[in-house]
Structure 1
Amino acid sequence: MEDFYIMKNRNKIAAFLLAGALAVGHGSVVYADVVWDLCAMNEERMRLGIQEKNIADNHVTNDANIDVEKHETPQSTSEYADIGIASVLNYVNLRAEPSVESEALGKLYNNSAATVLETVTDEAGEEWYLVSSGSVENAYVKAEYIKVGDEDLARGVSTRYATVTTTTLFVRTEPGTEASVLTMLPEGEDVVVYDALEEYGWYRVSTEEGLGYVSGEYVTIRTEFRVAESKEEEKERLEREEAERQAAAAAAEAARKAREEEERKAAEAARRAEETAKKAEETARKTQKEAAGKAQAEAAGKAQEETAKTAAQQSSEKTQQQTQNAQQAQQKKDKVTQTVSNGQAVVNYADRFVGNPYVYGGSSLTNGADCSGFVMSVYQAFGISLPHSSSALRSVGYGVSLSEIQPGDIVCYSGHVGIYAGNNTLLHASSPSTGIKYTSPVTYREILAIRRIF
């Protein structure tokens, strides 16, 4: 449009000059009118050209808008706007086509999330969503099984984590470096974020010692959903879990046999000691009898009798002690025999260390261990190698639900871990102030995962 007005002014100037020239040369201004008419015609031609261009541009713009409406996803007003959450009893299949007859590519379990890409309608008029979740991409699921755009639900089924990126991170009682230290977290540890003071660069997180604050400078933040499991992933998981169960059972059996062998040797030693004591007692009685028969003088007889009594008494006390030791060894063996499961054996062993100290970074069951060090060292006694990290322990063994929990299962919390002891009770290295202890109920904090080794 700017070019049009520039050209118009140029035409007027040219018209003035030409009109003047013609007027001087011919003594008439008729030609000037012709020139002005030509100028007007040029201006009209340019105006029509611009209008045509605008109309063409509008058509292009409208076509582009139509294309956007057809193919582009509208901008989300929330990060959860295009998140769909499965609402089913167990799982719903993700399929290759919008049909229940098509191939199942994976499973979306209850409260798992998927990104909704498109809504389609099948031949029967039923709605399906085109979704992606985990490694399952561009799959279809019936719309009736998915809740979309429910931000409260999406927030409720997701977990926001802060991962420590420094060697040791202080968790403080208030958001600021001047606040007192609540506890410490090692590098790589995950804790659940409950609130964000992003304008100040601090996050409120959950620890065993309670809610505290960490600086955003030393953590990375992520939001996790449970996602779909492909057919291949399900097969690999089941095979891995079965292999881990067999390996754990073999290790537990080997540890059980080793304990039984130690107890057998102890019982055998106690039996031999008892036999030796009996022989000593018989020898003492025989010596006493012989000494009494051979005594000639009263003083000598009394001395011999006193010696025999002393020997008999000492031998009897020794026999009683050895018998008691043998009984204790047998009772210990009976206790192991009565163990109902390998998991219960883990609890029985861990119980020996109740009352021992909590030491940050430690793994000694007697001198001090932290929560993951306690779990690691207890299972190490059964031939099982586990990581010294509460977040890493969320991936060992295989997962079970709270309704399926059994003694010996590993219970994972935000920045903490322990061993389920049965009767709704947790056995764990709690904190520096309480050490290794029992806590009930096991749901005293939000449980992130339950993992089973045996």
Structure 2
Amino acid sequence: MKTVSVKQKLILSALTGTILISGSVMTARAEDKPSEDTQILPVAGIESVLKECYKEDVKNNIDLYLVQDDKGEYLNRAFSNVSDYVYIRSAPDETSDWTGKLYSNSTADVLEYNGDWTKIRSGSVEGYVPADSLFTGKEAEEHAGEYEQNQATVTVDVLNVRDGQDTSASIITQITANEQYEVTGEAVNGWYPVEVGETPGWVYGDYVNVQQNYAYAESKEEEEKRVAEEKAARAAEEAKKQQEAQRAAAIQSQTSSGQAIIDYACQFIGNPYVWGGTSLTDGADCSGFVQAVYAHFGVGLPRTTWDMESVGTPVSYEEALPGDIILYDGHVGLYMGDGNIVNAMNEADGIGICSATYTPIITVRRVL
């Protein structure tokens, strides 16, 4: 369903003594006597003129007699009077093909009144709807406010959305240039109420362009395109949810397995550091310690830190989980979580715990 800006205002224009009809001229002569060649202008005035227009079968082109003025905005403006939508049909009968849908919040231009049917144009759709599905004339004027939609477009790079109508009010969020938001009420002291997502707030009028919009009908082709796009979006969202669920399950599995690695490794805290050693009890160096711990779980790793830099899958430090291998320049340890590693540190400290960021990290590898 489309929404575009409309500012057309129309009235009927009557020329003194002359009524223009497509393809003909009727002239009223105030003092001349009637003759066979003279058509008399009905005394009743503009109503009779319009009646004559209909008799001359020009109602299809009634917009030819509509000119801009502030007083006649609703002469050819109509609003939908339906709970959901009404079909716009190619001919004035229920069996004709439908070309679009006029929804409950929509507006249209009247092209023709045809008994129980009215021909309209709304958005890109032109066709017939039941006359009782529209508010027209005085009713259209009375209901117009229900169909007006004010939209604010941001005109600055970044605009604060506040919880009140003053610069001292707290900032709720920020919106950026060219973003559009529905204005949800009347302006207060130059501030407009808007809704960002589901969050209500206020923006200052100097930094937004507020326009009055109307909603319009949707053609059959536009509906088909929209439905296809919505279906694709739902499928993409479902796929994303499945991927997130799989990732969460993998993380849970990794966390569980990784924690088992850490629980096992921590049993050897306090044991000695031995250069070139691989014994968790008698002594190991940094890479020998990591290799021996993983070997207990049936995972073979290279012997040196340089070779370990290419094992498994790389992850960022922010994504690190317990059991991941963190490698430094000439050193390696097992990530415990909470920003710490368990590692064979040096001859003075043996196997122990230290900060994972004590020195720059080269890479984080996940092998489970």
Normalised-by-shorter TM-score class = 0.3 to 0.5
Higher relative contact order (CA 8 A, sep 6+): 2
More helix by share: 1
Q: Give the TM-score taking structure 2 as reference length.
A: 0.47
Q: Give the TM-score taking structure 1 as reference length.
A: 0.39
More strand by share: 2
Higher Cα Rg, which structure: 1
